[in-house]
Amino acid sequence: SKALKKLAAFEGPFLQKSYFLVEAELSNPGVDINQLCRSPGMSRSQVFRKLKALTGKSPTLHTLSIRANSYNIKQLSVALPSCQ
């Protein structure tokens, strides 16, 4: 449990940066692993391995899931006031 908390504290910033990058570029469908590599200054294979280990997803699937969650939240926020 202690080791898991240390890992989460260490890897958290990497995942946060990836989320922020994808969310900031929602209107850009071309966000890919190359852009994910630039922010932390890592190689493609390092980013792939790290994301796969931390999330269980490839970088492409990781970005798609962030986009899907962001779009769902935006759609809900638009739809909810009209339901009242």
CA distance 26 to 68: 10
Residue 51, pLDDT above cutoff 60 = yes
The pLDDT assigned to 84 comes to 46
Whole-model pTM over 0.85 = no
The pLDDT assigned to 83 comes to 45
CA distance 45 to 27: 26
pLDDT band at 23 (very low <50, low <70, confident <90, very high): confident
**What percent of the chain lies above the pLDDT cut of 70?**
70
Q: Are 65 and 59 in contact (CB under 8 A)?
A: no
The pLDDT assigned to 18 comes to 82
The pLDDT assigned to 72 comes to 64
SS3 56: coil
